[in-house]
Amino acid sequence: MITTSTPAATQRPIRLFRNKAAKIAAIPMILTAVVVFMGGTIWTIVFSFTKSKLLPKANFIGLDQYDRLWSSSKWGIAIENLLIYGICSLIFSLVIGFVLAALLDQKIRFENTFRSIMLYPFALSFIVTGLVWQWILNPDFGIQKVVRSMGWESFSFDPLNNQEIVIYGILIAGLWQGTGLIMCLMLAGLRGIDEDIWKAARVDGIPAWKTYIFIVIPMMRAVFVTTLVIIASGIVKLYDLVVAQTSGGPGIASEVPAKYVYDAMFLSQNLGQGFAGSTMMLLAVLIVLIPWAYMEFGGRQRD
């Protein structure tokens, strides 16, 4: 029989010190999250209500910076560009990435070669990407000139010098750099799908494209989440590529928010304005991110 009077072998551990090692190990992460990301964000928001110019100063002026921000045509263009770029980049990255992954998943020969070809631009920086594409799209040297010299004199393809379509010129370069990684992620996701699904679909006579859209894609939820985080964070941060390719031109036709913020802070020496712009950007990110976090953690049961 057990002696129920036996005292507890150990003192009941205090909650805070349960998992002590894990908590200690997480300190860098907690500090980064709280001090840098949260702290930096709050700092930015606070100073967006000030009239800070070259240096951050706490002379508050209410919402003036936001008034100015939203009445600026440059900011409007920047937002519009980001929306166009963001939506196109999201759709094309996912579609191209997925289609390429599906093609590579057909047990083809030279898969490694094709994969390397599509992935290598990822190793290059946006600055390099922007330069190369600026060069290829340059009407005096690049594609336009080559096509014209082949006899098609009226051929016109100079996205970087045309206000209407300059953002698509940037998109071409952005996709070139980023889709390889997306393709890799998608390929990994496809490889994680049970072979039996394909056998079942084949026996049932379901066409391949239907199997992909209605069966396989819904099974790849996790991959799509990771992919979305990577693509979306890239979109919000879009800056280097624009600077390298067009510097926001022609005119201000290819401005993007990150560039607006940077220019406000360091060219105009109007920190407050820059912070107001970044606050708006962070707000937009939050609007997207909170539902995600809820889906990821809130609804899920712990097992």
Give the residue carrying structure tokens 């560009």. 81
Kindly state the DSSP code that residue 66 receives in the 8-state scheme: H
What tokens were used for 73? 């045509």
CA–CA gap between residue 262 and residue 163 (Å, rounded): 22
Closer by beta carbon to another protein, 201 or else 253: 253
What tokens were used for 225? 């989440």
Collapsing DSSP to helix, strand or coil, 174 comes out as helix
Closer by beta carbon to another protein, 22 or else 203: 22
- For helices 166-191 and 126-137, angle between their N-to-C axes, nearest 10 degrees: 130
CB of 200 to another protein, least distance (A): 20
Question: What is the CB neighbour count within 10 angstroms for residue 72?
Answer: 15
Closer by beta carbon to another protein, 83 or else 103: 103
Nearest of 88, 136, 70, 80 to residue 253 by alpha carbon: 80
Closer by beta carbon to another protein, 127 or else 213: 127
CB of 29 to another protein, least distance (A): 4
What tokens were used for 60? 């508050």
Closer by beta carbon to another protein, 84 or else 122: 122
